[in-house]
C-alpha cells in the first residue's frame, strides 16, 4: 500500500517537475534535489526525507508535458516515487519506461493527499474511500522494462539470459 503525498492538476510540465534553470545538473544522483523546486514546501519534504520511497504523486491529464528533458524523470526516480495520472505526455512516458519510473495510468482516478492506494489485480483501490479504478495497462514490453529498472537494466538482464543458454 502507498500513500498519496501530493495531488496535482492537469498539464504538469517537465519545467514544473524539473525547472530548466537546473539543466546544467544532469547526473541522476544529483537531479533529485531539484524535484518540484518551485513548489518549495513539497521540495523541502522530498529533500528532508519526509516522503518515503514508493509514495504516490496523483495527477490529472497530460502529466510530464513540455520539453523532452529526461531529468524530469530521473528526479522522480531518485525518490522512488510512483506516478498515478489520468494520462501521460508521450515523451515523458517513454523516458519513464527507459529509466524505470513506475507509472500507473488511471483515466478516472480520484484521490487526495493522504489517501492510501493499492493495486489489486487490474484495479487501483483507494483504501481510504473504498473506490476502485480500472488501470490502463502499459504494453507488456514496456512494463517489463519498467519492472527491470529501466532499459539498461532490462538489456543487461536479456544479454545475461541469452549468454546462459
Q: What range does the domain containing 75 cover?
A: 2-138
* pTM (2 d.p.): 0.94
In a domain, 143, yes or no: no
Residue 63's SS3 state is: strand
**160 part of a folded domain:** no
117 inside domain: yes
Residue 165 clears pLDDT 80, i.e. is over it = no
User: What is the per-residue pLDDT for 26?
Assistant: 80
Return the beta strands (E) in the chain as ranges: 2-7, 56-59, 82-85, 102-105, 116-120, 123-126, 132-134
Structural domain includes residue 114: yes
pLDDT at 28 over 90: no
Q: Is residue 152 part of a domain?
A: no
Please tell me the total count of domains within the chain: 1
In the chain, how many H helices and how many E strands?
6, 7
Q: Is residue 66 part of a domain?
A: yes
Q: Does 148 map to a domain?
A: no
Contact 86, 61 (CB under 8 A): yes
CB atoms inside a 10 Å sphere around CB 32 = 20
Determine, yes or no, domain membership for 99.
Answer: yes
In CATH, what number is assigned to the domain containing residue 35? 3.20.19.10
User: Mean per-residue pLDDT for 3-12?
Assistant: 98
What φ, ψ does residue 22 adopt, rounded to 5°?
A: -100, 10
Amino acid at each position: 500500500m502507498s500513500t498519496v503525498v501530493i495531488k496535482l492538476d492537469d498539464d504538469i510540465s517537465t519545467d514544473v517537475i524539473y525547472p530548466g534553470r537546473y539543466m546544467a545538473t544532469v547526473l541522476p544522483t544529483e537531479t533529485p534535489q531539484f524535484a518540484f523546486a518551485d513548489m518549495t514546501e513539497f521540495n523541502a519534504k522530498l529533500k528532508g526525507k519526509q516522503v518515503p520511497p514508493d509514495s504516490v504523486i496523483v495527477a490529472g491529464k497530460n502529466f510530464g508535458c513540455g520539453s523532452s528533458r529526461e531529468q524530469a524523470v530521473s528526479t522522480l526516480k531518485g525518490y522512488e516515487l510512483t506516478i498515478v495520472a489520468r494520462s501521460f505526455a508521450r515523451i515523458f512516458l517513454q523516458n519513464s519506461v527507459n529509466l524505470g519510473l513506475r507509472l500507473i495510468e488511471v483515466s478516472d482516478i480520484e484521490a487526495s493527499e493522504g489517501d492510501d492506494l493499492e493495486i489489486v489485480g487490474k484495479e487501483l483501490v483507494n483504501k481510504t474511500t473504498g473506490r476502485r479504478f480500472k488501470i490502463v495497462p502499459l504494453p507488456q514490453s514496456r512494463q517489463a522494462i519498467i519492472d527491470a529498472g529501466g532499459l539498461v537494466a532490462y538489456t543487461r538482464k536479456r544479454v545475461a539470459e541469452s549468454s546462459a543458454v
